[in-house]
Amino acid sequence: MLTFSKVLNAALPQTCVLCEDRKAKSHVQGMCSPCLAQLPWRSSACCPQCGIGNNAAICGQCLSNSPFYDTTTALFAYFYPIDAIVHAYKYQKGLYLSRLLGELMAMHSTNLHPVSIPIDGIVAMPMHPERLRERGFNQSHEIAKIVSRALKIPLYSDACQRIINTPPQATLALKERAKNIKGAFDCANEIAGLRIAVIDDVMTSGASLNELAKTLKKSGAKSVHNWVIARTL
Ligand SMILES: [Zn+2]
Ligand SMILES: [Zn+2]
């Protein structure tokens, strides 16, 4: 049987996805060390709750209107070439990139401050079944599978569902996004009492992650921590 991991392995590029250097030694699958070093890495000096700003203190926005999630860790700022990589991954079926992004998240999550909080379980940002049929895969779930394996933290694949097929958040103004996503998720009680890391690709307004955190906490999650590939600033 041709499993997903077999397809993934077959599709893995032997060269760096950015500079196409064939000889460069690579830290992670698919990218050479010099290119890795030049990615727009986020420093940990930002609001630990929402992941924005350049100051390692809770920001005014989080103080005045506290989100349901407890911490946010973003690997990258959503700049070139990360925006291009995420775009290729999601919209050009660049499934082999899930290995690269998942390995980067697993590798660096242990080094980043908020992630040193022990995590009991991982949940991927759920996709509505209709959207899943259109795209063929849930980009966050593919990354979450790799992170779960690498960090040996259980992945709760069926704990959260998207029960309303809302219009894509990217098509809406920032203030419309919270309204759009309200009530969109359903979470099972199996995550009750657990410290949950939610994996998503890009965090923009944080409205989807906040609604999911709210739903997870209603189902008894002890704490919720966003692990995202990139954060818009
Ligand atoms: Zn390279
Ligand atoms: Zn904040």
For residue 118 the two structure tokens come to 């022990």
Q: Which of 36-40, 49-53, 93-97, 150-154 has the lowest mean pLDDT?
A: 93-97
Task: Reply yes or no on whether the pLDDT at 68 is more than 70.
Answer: yes
Q: 27 alpha carbon to ligand 1 midpoint, in Å?
A: 11
Ligand nearest to the CA of 226: 2
Nearest alpha-carbon partner for 114 in 30, 47, 181, 172: 47
Q: 152 alpha carbon to ligand 1 midpoint, in Å?
A: 29
What pLDDT score does 181 carry?
Answer: 93
Please state the three-class secondary structure of the chain as a single string.
CCCHHHHHHHHCCCCCCCCCCCCCCEEECCEEHHHHHCCCECCCCCCCCCCCCCCCCCCHHHHHCCCCCCEEEEEEECCCCHHHHHHHHHHCCCCCHHHHHHHHHHHHHCCCHHHHCCCCEEEECCCCHHHHHHHCCCHHHHHHHHHHHHHCCCECCCCEEECCCCCCHHHCCHHHHHHHHCCCEEECHHHCCCEEEEEEEEECCCHHHHHHHHHHHHCCCCEEEEEEEEECC
Q: 48 alpha carbon to ligand 1 midpoint, in Å?
A: 31
- The model's pLDDT over 25-60, given as tens digits with 9 standing for 90+, comes to 655 678 888 898 899 998 778 999 999 988 889 999
What pLDDT score does 24 carry?
Answer: 58
Ligand nearest to the CA of 25: 1
Ligand nearest to the CA of 55: 2
What pLDDT score does 8 carry?
Answer: 41
Q: 28 alpha carbon to ligand 1 midpoint, in Å?
A: 11
Percent of the chain clearing pLDDT 90 (strictly above): 60
pTM listed for this prediction: 0.89
Q: Which residues is 203 bridged to in the sheet?
A: 231
What pLDDT score does 228 carry?
Answer: 96
Task: Reply yes or no on whether the pLDDT at 171 is more than 50.
Answer: yes
Q: 138 alpha carbon to ligand 1 midpoint, in Å?
A: 27
Highest mean pLDDT among 27-36, 57-66, 174-183: 57-66
